[in-house]
């Protein structure tokens, strides 16, 4: 029987610092990118990045632009990273740049307004490295289907990069295609599978976010401002994967703190996200059902409990070979339409909080070993508000788990302890192929002013 039980949130220890992104990893990725380029018939691949859209560039180089835009051009025998005034010196954070495998160039037009502009222009750099009248792939952060475009427009030619880059590319090359899927497609994208060292970085990020969220939740008090609540999280120094949110009552869910005060009987949602993690929870500012308004009666029995059971079923399906469409169908079968599940029930995560997802209606894309999955199933109801168990996981077959245990034994042990907690204490389905990355995995505490009350199956 699904019920509330008072219990301690688990603490399986602090991960060691994860391994730094190495030159060997970067060189392997650059080799894989060149192979993908050749397979697509591209003479050059142009990767765009800015503060909001740095994931593909960062994955390949270890460099993410700050304040400015940046452009990486990869050809068969050359790689040029073009940066602005403030980022040029920072490019050495990339092992490829530091080792001379990628050369750099200054384009001050990528810099902020009114800064000095004495440098080569972007079109001049592009003329140097891109063969004239060639076929070029452009990588931004999304691709498009024919149903999103005007009739007759070729989706391959729909670019998601700024005009100041797209225009000179089209003038130089014979054909410029959207090549973002080479990196981000859930079935075959280069970033859609992670290695054991990447798992270590993901776990560190998930731990930092989950520990901060736990500190925040257990600090909640009536009358506390939302600013004070977030301050209690003591968020560490990892880069944010998306904006921190904290919304109560009628405040829209993607808002941050606005100066509101915690009061009983209002719904709330909040998240803390670093690169590779997004720990999110939702419930009611209450100590029990008696604090809820009459309109939210039966919140536990008719909303939270069915959601928890569906999340258990979700975990049970996180096995290599399961079709993404089957996961979609299961969630929409388990949860009624008025739960308001509109987005994909689960997606891939990286430096970008949402990379892409194999979980779509009728998707035949199979779940695969090495997929870093975000349990992101977001219900929204006009009377009950929401509930949430949003954490990070990795799907791992026998070989990947053995490799992880050999190279990062303490990490593998923590994942096993988390899985055991989810199974034995919470009562959830957790197959051997699912690695929970945070100590919050399995935790739903609907009464946020008494978070020791946890849903168990």
Query: 108-149, pLDDT tens digit by residue?
Result: 999 999 999 999 999 999 999 999 999 999 999 999 999 999
Residues 149 and 208 in one domain: no
Domain-ending residue, one of 139, 155, 178: 178
Residues 207 and 353 in one domain: yes
Residue pair 96/23 in contact (Cβ under 8 Å)? The answer is yes
Q: Identify whether 287 is part of a domain.
A: yes
Q: Identify whether 20 is part of a domain.
A: no
Provide the residue range defining the domain that includes 397.
3-13+193-456
CATH number at 398 reads: 3.90.230.10
Residue pair 194/394 in contact (Cβ under 8 Å)? The answer is yes
Residues 161 and 201 in one domain: no
Residues 75 and 118 in one domain: yes
Q: Identify whether 32 is part of a domain.
A: no
Residue pair 367/395 in contact (Cβ under 8 Å)? The answer is yes
Residues 307 and 410 in one domain: yes
Residues 164 and 263 in one domain: no
pTM: 0.96
Residues 160 and 204 in one domain: no
Query: 373-397, pLDDT tens digit by residue?
Result: 999 999 999 999 999 999 999 999 9
Residues 244 and 343 in one domain: yes
Q: Identify whether 324 is part of a domain.
A: yes
d(CA 425, CA 208): 23
253 pLDDT above the threshold of 90: no
Give the model's confidence band at 4: pLDDT under 50 very low, under 70 low, under 90 confident, else very high. very high
Query: 387-433, pLDDT tens digit by residue?
Result: 999 999 999 999 999 999 999 999 999 999 999 999 999 999 999 99
Query: 348-362, pLDDT tens digit by residue?
Result: 999 999 999 999 999
Residues 148 and 219 in one domain: no
Q: Identify whether 336 is part of a domain.
A: yes
Residues 211 and 124 in one domain: no
C-alpha closest to that of 270 among 244, 290, 241, 297: 244
User: Exposed, middle or buried by CB within 10 Å (0-12, 13-18, 19+), for 19?
Assistant: middle
C-alpha closest to that of 391 among 372, 410, 369, 371: 372
Query: 266-306, pLDDT tens digit by residue?
Result: 999 999 999 999 999 999 999 999 999 999 999 999 999 99
Domain-ending residue, one of 116, 143, 178: 178
CATH number at 146 reads: 3.40.350
C-alpha closest to that of 48 among 172, 163, 173, 187: 163
Q: Identify whether 84 is part of a domain.
A: yes
Domain-ending residue, one of 155, 178, 201: 178
Q: Identify whether 301 is part of a domain.
A: yes
Residues 315 and 289 in one domain: yes
Based on the structure, what is the number of domains in the chain?
A: 2
Residues 247 and 291 in one domain: yes
Sign of the C-alpha dihedral computed for residues 137, 143, 145 and 146 taken in this order:
negative
Question: What is the per-residue pLDDT for 326?
Answer: 98
Task: Answer left, alpha or beta for residue 364, where phi above 0 means left and psi between -120 and 50 means alpha.
Answer: alpha
């Amino acid at each position: 029987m699904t019920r509330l039980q008072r219990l301690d949130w688990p603490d399986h220890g602090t991960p060691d610092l994860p391994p730094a992104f190495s030159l060997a990893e970067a060189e392997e990725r650059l080799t894989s990118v060149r192979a993908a380029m050749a397979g697509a018939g591209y003479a050059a691949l142009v990767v765009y990045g800015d503060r909001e859209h740095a994931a593909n560039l960062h994955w390949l180089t270890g460099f993410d632009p700050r304040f400015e835009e940046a452009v990486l051009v990869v050809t068969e025998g050359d790689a040029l990273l073009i940066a602005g005034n403030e980022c040029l010196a920072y490019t050495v954070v990339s092992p490829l740049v530091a080792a001379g495998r990628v050369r750099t160039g200054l384009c001050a037009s990528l810099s902020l307004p009114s800064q000095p502009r004495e440098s080569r222009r972007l079109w001049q750099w592009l003329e140097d490295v891109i063969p004239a009248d060639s076929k070029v792939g452009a990588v931004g952060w999304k691709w498009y289907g024919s149903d999103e475009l005007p009739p007759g427009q070729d989706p391959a030619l729909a670019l998601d990069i700024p005009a100041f880059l797209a225009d000179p590319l089209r003038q130089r090359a014979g054909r410029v295609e959207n090549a973002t899927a080479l990196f981000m497609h859930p079935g075959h994208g280069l970033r859609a599978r992670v290695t054991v060292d990447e798992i270590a970085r993901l776990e560190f990020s998930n731990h930092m976010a989950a520990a901060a969220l736990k500190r925040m939740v257990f600090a909640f008090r009536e009358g506390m401002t939302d600013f004070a609540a977030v301050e209690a999280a003591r968020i560490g120094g990892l880069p944010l994967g998306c904006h921190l949110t904290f919304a109560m009552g009628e405040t829209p869910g993607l808002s941050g703190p606005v100066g509101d005060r915690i009061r009983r009987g209002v719904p709330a949602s909040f998240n803390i996200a670093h690169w590779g993690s997004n720990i999110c929870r939702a419930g009611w500012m209450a100590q029990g059902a008696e604090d809820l308004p009459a309109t939210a009666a039966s919140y536990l029995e008719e909303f939270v409990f069915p959601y928890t059971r569906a999340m258990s079923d979700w975990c049970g399906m996180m096995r290599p070979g399961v079709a993404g469409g089957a996961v979609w169908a299961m969630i929409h079968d388990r949860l009624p339409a008025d739960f308001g599940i509109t987005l994909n029930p689960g997606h891939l995560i990286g430096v970008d909080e949402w990379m892409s997802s194999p979980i779509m209606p009728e998707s035949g894309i199979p779940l695969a070993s090495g997929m870093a999955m975000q349990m992101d199933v977001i219900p929204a109801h006009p009377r009950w508000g929401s509930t949430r168990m949003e954490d990070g996981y990795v799907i791992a077959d026998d070989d990947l788990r053995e490799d992880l245990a050999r190279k990062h034994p303490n990490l593998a042990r923590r994942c096993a302890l988390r899985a055991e907690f989810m199974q034995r204490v919470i009562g959830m389905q957790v197959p051997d192929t699912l690695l929970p990355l945070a100590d919050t995995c399995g935790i739903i505490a609907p009464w946020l002013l008494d978070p020791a009350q946890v849903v168990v199956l």
